[in-house]
Amino acid sequence: MSNYEQLDAWIDQHFDEQVQFLQALVRVPTDTPPGNNAPHAERTAELIKDYGFEAEKHVVPAADVKAYGMESITNLIVRRPYGQGGRKDGITIALNAHGDVVPPGEGWTHDPYGAEIANGAMYGRATAVSKSDFSTFTFAVRALEAVAKPSKGAIELHFTYDEEFGGLLGPGWLLAQGLTKPDLMIAAGFSYEVVTAHNGCLQMEVTVHGKMAHAAVPHTGVDALQGATAVMNALYAENVKYQQVTSKVPGIKHPYLNIGRIEGGTNTNVIPGKVVLKIDRRMIPEENPAEVEASIHAVIAKAVQDFNQQRDYQGEDAVRTDIKRILLANAMTPLPGNAPLVEAIQKHGEAVFGTKPPAVGTPLYTDVRLYVERGIPGVIYGAGPRTVLESHAKRADERLQLEDLRRATKVVARALADLMA
């Protein structure tokens, strides 16, 4: 029996245990917001201790977390050095998955934190993105150590808890604190493709100011919602132009702007004096973030100017806006050093799944960029279906086919065996 076959056999033998491990992780909520994620880190550390894995608990200062808009973050690093000296006589590979998730929302037919299994799939928030890969990476490393027994280098598990808000207090914080500097890294992903590039993301908060008034005397006020509507129409019109801008990266199409949240008004009988919009602008790798941000400012300014001119609003009566950047996540472009990762995953993806997973880009943005920005080559690969749509990630009834989990774990274990040899 070859080393690869032995790795596969070990994973098959321990698969029921792996499924139970994932169920335990899914059953601890990590809704972000509000972002009280330290309890999940504690539970994860407790569970992996049974496997002989000691997790370093890196607590992000409470003041930083609160200022960021979350409640608690504890990031975990599990270091597995092999042979004498760990990374001194070999490479260090980091495996990163995030535990924070968006709230479940409505429309579920399964308990979002029940980790129920039906028709070969596990249902629950983060079953596909990305508590699944806490499981994939943990059991791939266990298989590697039991079978291949690497004698040099090191592997680190990075289980982090700020991806939904941009990653700066997750992997970004670990890297900025000098707590880790791997040579290569793999981040949580899906089973049927190796992601080597991804979109950037600019998130902004736009506050539209008018003047409150009683709805019975509307002429005494300035309707901020009507002003906001003019801004929204102008922003949405940009999407027509964006469709003419095409990325050359396979898997990435064109930029897109989404208005994901609207807040405003005090009551039905009051002219709204303030409306707040939160927008998300996806940037293809070829775009310049500074130019994109300046363009959005210009579109908003023009919309407000036109709105005021059409209604002859001047001085204190004029609608005005405040614009605040919430997040700027740069696009990820491949580093030349990622070739060994891509080759190993493609080789074993083809052996295990029967088809070679393509190396592509994704319109998402991820924490991998934070490693790549520091010169650490990385790719995205893990347990999941062919598309985000299939996984129901960020929607009701998120699910993971257990066979995808089993096979992705085999691919990662095999790839690690090659890379650590």
93-104 pLDDT per residue, tens: 999 999 999 999
Token digits for 73? 């973050």
Q: What is the pTM of this model?
A: 0.91
What DSSP string describes 43-107?
Answer: HHHHHHHTTTPPEEEEEPPHHHHHHHT-SB-EEEEEEEE-SSSGGGGS-EEEEEEE--B----S-
Residue where one domain finishes, among candidates 329, 356, 380: 329
By the 8 A CB rule, do 221 and 210 touch?
yes
Residue where one domain finishes, among candidates 295, 310, 329: 329
pLDDT value, residue 359: 95
pLDDT > 70? residue 86 = no
> Residue 314 CA to chain centroid, in angstroms?
44
Assess whether 165 and 178 both reside in one domain: yes
Assess whether 47 and 180 both reside in one domain: yes
Assess whether 138 and 222 both reside in one domain: no
The three-state (H, E, C) secondary structure of 363-381, written as one string = CCCCCHHHHHCCCCCEEEC
User: Which CATH number do you get for residue 349?
Assistant: 3.40.630.10
By the 8 A CB rule, do 399 and 127 touch?
yes
User: CA angle at residue 13 from 152 to 186, to 5 degrees?
Assistant: 45
Residue where one domain finishes, among candidates 329, 353, 388: 329
> Cα–Cα distance between 228 and 161 in angstroms, integer?
34
Assess whether 238 and 350 both reside in one domain: no
Q: Give, rounded to a whole angstrom, the gap between the first and last alpha carbons of the chain.
A: 18
Assess whether 229 and 313 both reside in one domain: yes
Assess whether 151 and 277 both reside in one domain: no
Give the pLDDT band of residue 289 (cuts 50, 70, 90).
very high
> Cα–Cα distance between 49 and 33 in angstroms, integer?
28
Token digits for 410? 């085999």
Assess whether 141 and 276 both reside in one domain: no
Assess whether 193 and 218 both reside in one domain: no
Assess whether 251 and 309 both reside in one domain: yes
pLDDT > 70? residue 87 = no
> Cα–Cα distance between 14 and 109 in angstroms, integer?
29
pLDDT > 80? residue 89 = no
By the 8 A CB rule, do 193 and 379 touch?
no
Query: What is the number of structural domains in the chain?
Result: 2
pLDDT > 90? residue 394 = no
Cβ contacts of 334 within 8 Å, gap of 6 or more: 196, 197, 377
> Cα–Cα distance between 194 and 186 in angstroms, integer?
10
Assess whether 84 and 136 both reside in one domain: yes
The verdict on whether omega for the bond into residue 130 sits within 30 degrees of 0, i.e. cis, is yes
Assess whether 188 and 215 both reside in one domain: no
For 394-407, what is the mean pLDDT?
96
User: Which CATH number do you get for residue 253?
Assistant: 3.30.70.360
394 vs 26, residue with greater confidence: 26
Instruction: Give the structural domain span for 145.
Output: 3-198+331-420
Assess whether 352 and 411 both reside in one domain: yes
